[in-house]
């Protein structure tokens, strides 16, 4: 049975194309001398400092200057000639045993990294895809049985264009309501004191409100057209 120990993830670097930089859970404990204590990468070679902390070449280079440096983990000073380098060969890297990257989806495959990579790319049946209707992540093999009945597990995904149109319609509706309120406040004073000017201003406001209402209606019609088009595609 695969190991169910702590789910500690590390990343390889400069070793195996396709496996590099992937968060990987190894089935067996990886010696500390192989792991950078700062970035937690497993590189081609590591350097042990006098304080016993281990760094990769990149982190070591970043904290050294003129033949010495300071450990980023404890602040202890060191000289380059006090440090010891340990290489990790490609063969040893490929022999590291790891869990499939689809372990969280239910895959229990465990093997050396080369075997895990081949299994993941060619054989694994636990790859996830996003349902085009609700956006939930489902196993690739389960998508059809979920999608065909209508997929009632979520709402249709909104497109950026739909979101923008909905926001625009809401904003225009708010502006329209505010202008109507302004019209009501201005109507009586203007009619009483400046009948002619008031009528002109009110007429202009009414034209503006009418124009905004037309924009709102056009936006809503556009949204309905998009929804109708989406329904046609699904059918």
Greater confidence (126 vs 201) lies with: 126
CA gap 28, 20 in Å, rounded = 18
Instruction: List pLDDT tens digits, range 93-134.
Output: 989 999 999 998 899 999 999 999 999 999 999 888 887 777
For residue 184, what are its two tokens? Answer: 């009501």
Average pLDDT for 182-198: 55
Instruction: List pLDDT tens digits, range 139-160.
Output: 876 676 666 666 755 444 444 5
pLDDT of 229 over the 60 cut: no
Of 58-62, 105-109, 158-162, 180-184, give the lowest mean pLDDT range: 158-162
H/E segment holding residue 111: strand 110-112
Greater confidence (214 vs 227) lies with: 214
Of 31-40, 132-141, 188-197, give the lowest mean pLDDT range: 188-197
Report the C-alpha dihedral over residues 34, 36, 41, 45, rounded to 10 degrees.
-50
Please, which residues bridge with residue 10 across strands?
24
Nearest to 95 by CA among 26, 33, 7: 26
For the chain, count helices (H), then strands (E): 6, 13
pLDDT of 232 over the 60 cut: no
Average pLDDT for 46-61: 96
Given a contact cutoff of 8 angstroms between Cβ atoms, the answer to whether 109 and 116 are in contact is: yes
Nearest to 205 by CA among 177, 185, 180, 188: 180
CA gap 123, 71 in Å, rounded = 44
pLDDT of residue 185: 59
pLDDT of residue 177: 67
Greater confidence (84 vs 189) lies with: 84
Residue 47's pLDDT band, with cuts at 50, 70 and 90, is very high
pLDDT of 202 over the 80 cut: no
């Amino acid at each position: 049975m695969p190991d169910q120990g702590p789910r500690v993830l590390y990343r390889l670097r400069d070793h195996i194309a396709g496996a590099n930089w992937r968060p990987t859970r190894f089935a067996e404990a990886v010696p500390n001398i192989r792991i950078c204590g700062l970035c937690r990468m497993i590189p081609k070679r590591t350097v042990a400092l006098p304080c016993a902390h281990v760094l990769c070449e990149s982190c070591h280079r970043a904290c050294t200057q003129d033949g010495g440096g300071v450990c980023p983990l404890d602040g202890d000073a060191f000289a380059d000639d006090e440090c010891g380098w340990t290489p990790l060969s490609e063969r040893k890297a490929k022999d590291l045993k790891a869990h499939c990257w689809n372990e969280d989806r239910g895959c229990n495959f465990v093997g050396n990294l080369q075997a895990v990579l081949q299994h993941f790319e060619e054989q694994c049946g636990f790859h996830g895809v996003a349902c085009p209707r609700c956006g939930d992540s489902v196993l690739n093999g389960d998508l059809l049985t979920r999608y065909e009945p209508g997929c009632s597990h979520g709402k249709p995904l909104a497109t950026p264009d739909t979101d923008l149109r909905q926001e625009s319609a809401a904003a225009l509706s708010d502006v329209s309501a505010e202008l109507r309120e302004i019209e009501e406040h201005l109507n009586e004073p203007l009619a009483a004191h400046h009948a002619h000017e008031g009528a002109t201003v009110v007429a202009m406001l009414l034209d503006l409100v009418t124009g905004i209402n037309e924009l709102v209606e056009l936006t809503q019609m556009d949204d309905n057209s998009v929804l109708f088009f989406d329904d046609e595609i699904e059918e």
